[in-house]
Amino acid sequence: MKKILFVAAALICISACCQKTRTIGGKVIDAAMNSIILATDAGEFCVSTAFADPSEVEGVLIGDVVEVEYTEVKSGSATINSVRSLSVVSPSYYRLIAGTWLTGCGDESCGFTLAEDGTATGSGARWAGICNYVLDGEELALIQKSGDRNVSTVFDVVRLDADSLVVATPAGEQFALARKQVRN
């Protein structure tokens, strides 16, 4: 019995010594409970978070650009890319879109507020009646009440960062908005 335990422990040590730790960066295109699929320069790449230390792995959203340190673990004839650490290098639009966005009209009532749950409110001639929004990749659909029906206007997100949002209609009309700063 002791001999079997010794052999098993030796095999575990040898396999641990032979594991290769690597780093890869890419854009999150799919994420599930225990795996993340990245789009990289070399193609799609899947990593497993099943055995990762939660303190070393940030939560991710579709569209996040991440850097992943992983270990290749052999399991029979398969290789599992097991995450050791993960960090978000560039956040997706989903992390940045919620907030109050104002146009440069000089009146704080011109713009809209997008909540994390998809609801929205708008004010000013262009944005009045906005009640919901949908962000799909780099397209933002603002849904406005018009009488008893909803009308959706789709914008391309030209730029979105912590402080500014620029959207454009399919016809090319652009709107530059600034995030309303919270005052203490």
pLDDT in tens, 126-177: 898 999 999 998 999 999 988 889 999 999 999 998 899 999 999 999 999 9
Query: CATH number for the domain including 160?
Result: 2.40.128.280
Tell me which residue range forms the domain holding 46: 18-91
Among candidates 184, 140, 131, which has minimal Cα distance to 159?
140
Q: How many domains does the chain have?
A: 2
Q: Which two tokens stand for residue 70?
A: 């992983």
Query: CATH number for the domain including 73?
Result: 2.40.50.140
pLDDT in tens, 93-113: 888 999 999 987 755 568 999
Distance between CA atoms of residues 64 and 46, nearest Å: 15
Give the mean pLDDT of the chain. 86
Of 73, 91, 109, which closes a domain? 91
Of 40, 58, 91, which closes a domain? 91
> Is the model's pLDDT at 2 over the cut of 60?
no
pLDDT of residue 107: 53
Whether residues 83 and 98 fall in one domain = no
**Which residue did the predictor score with more confidence, 4 or 34?**
34
Longest alpha-carbon distance in the chain: 81
Positive or negative, the CA dihedral 53, 58, 63, 69 is negative
pLDDT in tens, 23-54: 999 999 999 889 999 999 999 999 999 988 88
pLDDT of residue 14: 44
- Is residue 175 within 8 A of residue 167, CB to CB? The reply is yes
- Is residue 164 within 8 A of residue 173, CB to CB? The reply is no
Question: What one-character DSSP code corresponds to residue 107?
Answer: -
Q: pTM of the prediction?
A: 0.65
Domain-located, residue 24 = yes
pLDDT of residue 54: 86
